[in-house]
Every structure is written in C-alpha cells, then in structure tokens.
Homo-oligomer: A and B are copies of this chain.
Amino acid sequence: MKKICFYSQVLFFGLVLFSGNTLIAQEKTKYLDAEQSDPIKMGWMKGSPPPADRIVRFEDGSFFQFPALRWSVAHMRQFAPSINVSHGLRNSRSLSSSINNGIDKVKFIPLGETNPITWAESLQKVYADGVIVMHHGKIVYEKYFGALTVDGQHAAMSVTKSFTGTLGIMLVKEGLIDPEKLVSHYVPELKNSAFGDATVRQVLDMTTALQFSEDYADPNADIWKFSAAGNPLPKPKDFNGPKTYYEYLPTVKKKGVHGEAFGYKTVNSDVMGWIIARVTGKTVAEVLSEKIWSKLGTDQDGYYLVDGIGTPFAGGGLSLGLRDLARFGQLILNDGKAGAEQIIPKSAIDDIRKGGNKEAFAKGGYPLLKGWSYRDMWWITNNDHGAFCARGVHGQVIYIDPKADMVIVRFASNPVASNGANDPYSLPAYEAVGKFLISNK
C-alpha cells in the first residue's frame, strides 16, 4: 500500500517531462470545461477541515489529478519541500499598464480548425490561470483565473528548463563554463553515463543521444525511475533504485550519436543544473536568485521543489508569480537589460536568439513545430517575427515576439499535459495578437 502510494505519486514528476506535443496521443476523455472546473468554486482544500472529497494529497498523487490539479498548480509548496529563490530586499520595479481592451476580441483560426475564435475564448480552451501581455514594455493585458492571484505563485513546469538554460549560457559568457568541453570535465560522476562524452553545448541544446524511455505504459520505463529518484518522500524500505537526482543521472545510458538529433529529455536540464551547481558551488536556486531574481525588481520570491537531499528540480520544479514571469520575459526581450541595468549579458541573449540546428530539431518528432529549433533550452520558432518561447506542460508559456515588441506569459492548468492540447489555441493566437498590436498603434 505504502509502496503503491509512493509509485503512484511519481506520476506528477513524470508529467513534468511532457512539454512536447507528440509524445502522447491527445486524450479523448471529456473533461469539465474551464468554468465547470473552476478550482475556487470547487472548494479544493477549503474549510477547517476541508470536506473529505475536497482534500488532495501529494503522497497518492491526487493533488495532481484534474480537476484538483487546477488548485494544486498554484500551491505546489503546500504539498512538498521547496527551496526559495529570494527576490532580495530591493523594491520591485513598477510595471506600468496601458490596458488594451481590443485584445479580447482578436480573432484567429485554431490549428486544424476552420472557424475563428477570439482571444478571450481561447483562454477558456486552454484553462488559463493567468495571462499577461506586455507591449513596448507595458502591460496591455492582465487577467487571472482559477486559483492564481496577483500575489500568488504558479508552477512553471518545463518553463523551468529555460531558466536553467539561461543560467547556463550566462555562465558560459562569464567564462565559468566552456560549452565545447565534455560534461564529464565538470561532473566526473557522469563519466560513465551517456553524458560522459557529450559536450555542454549538446546538453544545452538537447542533442544528446540518450536511452531514456518515456513510455508511460511501461512500468520499467526510465521516466519512472527518474521520477522516483526525485521524489522527496522517504523511500520505501525495499526501494533499491537511485534515491536522488544526482544518483539517477549517472545511470542514463547512451543510444545513438550525440549532436545529430534533438531529443527533448528533461534529464538534460538536470544535468545542466548539476554543472551550474558544480561550477558555482551553489544551488541553482541560489544562482538564479543572485544573478537574476534579486536584480530584476521582482515582487516575490520564486521556489523550486527539491528532491530528498534538497536539490532543486532544474527540469521542472520552479513556481513563480505571473508578473515576475512577465518581468523575466521582458528582460530577455530587452537583450538582458532591466531599466539601465544589464542583468544578463547581451551575448547570452544573442546566443539564445540565433537558435539551434534546424535539421537536428526536425528529427525530434514535432511535426506541428515545422522549422523550429531549440537552443539553450528555449524553443525558437524561426517565424517572420523571430519569436521564441519557453514551454511547460498543462499550458505554461513565455512567448517573446521581438518584431511586435511583445511578451506573452501564461500560467494554465489544462487537463491534458501535452502542449499538443494547447498549441492549436495558442500559437496562432500569439501571432494574431502580435499582428494586432503592430497594426493597433
């Protein structure tokens, strides 16, 4: 029973791995819609005590089952240990607003459909919990739904990876990491793993060749072992697998040739997190705080979920406030500057924006994302606006459109994990809003 609970709970950590759109077939299940599943109306964890059917738990995975997950994504640290990303003591940079009421009425045709819907309608389709659109550095749109409040924090899921990649390329530009060196140069513990003869650059761009199965139907899939290793709960007595991220990563085996194909595997981000921790002597949470979060003028601390020895989950464990996510997106769009302060070297942002290898990406299995690439753990659309983004399961996103001088950040709690469920109502929507803002001077 105990053991079953432990293993069923790892589902949450497994889900974090899905940020692509083709990994699992889109569920045909009929879910409650956004309004029906409103987590505040449903009363999750509300009451002293809450009614028995409104209590959800980490240990049995119930906290991350739809529709309860709509509440849980805004309360992750209530379920598990976490490590702070301090915003320091400086006051926040004010975000000026110039709300554009036209955005709600912007129309677009969802991918694979024929009838247009509005931006406002699309937010219901993707179970948005909060959306901010920045244009010319100002908030032009800001809405909260579900369990998220303006002073709350929401799981960023795999958007976390883009933070890890950004810190990685910053350390490259600072000279602490040579991207052409082998991973094992920095983390000798990985010498005999798949990462032993991969370069840091291949890790940053996820062109490592890994034998890492994410087949949920297979109880022996690697994903389950990774998830179990990162689970912060005490391990069952008879547990004999790796017990932490740092015990798991050296067990990953190679399959194929590094550098040839994009393969979206969360373990790359955790290896990058390990390299960052090793070269700085600090946790990824401390590095993010020192290099970005305490300088950006954020309103709130962020936090990472951690494994059993306090290692932040660099592949998907970050939770943040929506306005702070918008500040971060704007920082990236502004070539690393916030106000007059150069927080991230422009050369690091340039490295992200130049994108990765398109041929390698094309082998990665993302037919909907034609012509895209992946660089420094960011998704590069290569569209005519030069847009690039950070993406996480259940609909988390930072979408940066340089031509429209626009940043869209969104937290969501779509019952379907895969972005395949969100992209049809999101990618054309972002483009439509970008065009609307350009034309709507």
Contact = CB atoms under 8 A, between A and B. Distances in A.
Nearest to A285: B78
Contacts of A84: 77, 153
A9 to B, nearest CB: 9
Contacts of A80: 81
B86 A152 contact: yes
Nearest to A321: B89
A11 to B, nearest CB: 16
Most chain B Cβ neighbours within 10 Å, of A59, A86, A281 = A86
A284 to B, nearest CB: 9
A246 interface: yes
A154 B64 CA distance: 30
A306 B58 CA distance: 13
Contact of A48 (B49, B59, B233, B246): B246
Interface secondary structure of A, over-half rule? loop
A277 B2 contact: no
A55 B92 contact: no
Given A48-B274, A48-B278, A246-B49, A1 B309 contact: no
Contacts of A283: 48
Interface in A303-335: 306, 308-311, 323
Contacts of A83: 75, 77-78
B79 A49 contact: no
A234 B48 contact: no
B59 A234 contact: yes
Contact of A234 (B78, B233, B244, B299): B233
Given A48-B311, A237-B1, A58 B81 contact: yes
Nearest to A59: B234
A236 B77 CA distance: 22
Contacts of A300: 86, 301
A350 interface: no
Interface in A50-98: 50, 55, 57-59, 75, 77-84, 86, 88-89, 91-92
A155 to B, nearest CB: 14
A278 B234 CA distance: 33
A383 to B, nearest CB: 34
Most chain B Cβ neighbours within 10 Å, of A2, A46, A81, A308 = A81
A48 B249 CA distance: 12
Contacts of A50: 309-310
A45 interface: yes
Nearest to A244: B49
A86 B77 CA distance: 13
Interface in A20-54: 45-50
Contacts of A310: 45, 50, 75, 78
A150 interface: yes
A104 interface: no
A5 interface: yes
Contacts of A323: 89
A173 to B, nearest CB: 22
Nearest to A80: B81
Interface string A249-270: 0000000000000000000000
Interface of A: 1-2, 5, 45-50, 55, 57-59, 75, 77-84, 86, 88-89, 91-92, 150-153, 233-234, 236-237, 244, 246, 274, 277-278, 281, 283, 294, 299-301, 306, 308-311, 323
Given A48-B277, A48-B278, A81-B81, 4 more contacts: A2-B2, A57-B234, A77-B82, A89-B299
The 10 closest A-B pairs by CB, nearest first: A48-B277, A59-B234, A91-B91, A49-B246, A86-B151, A89-B299, A78-B83, A88-B151, A55-B309, A45-B310
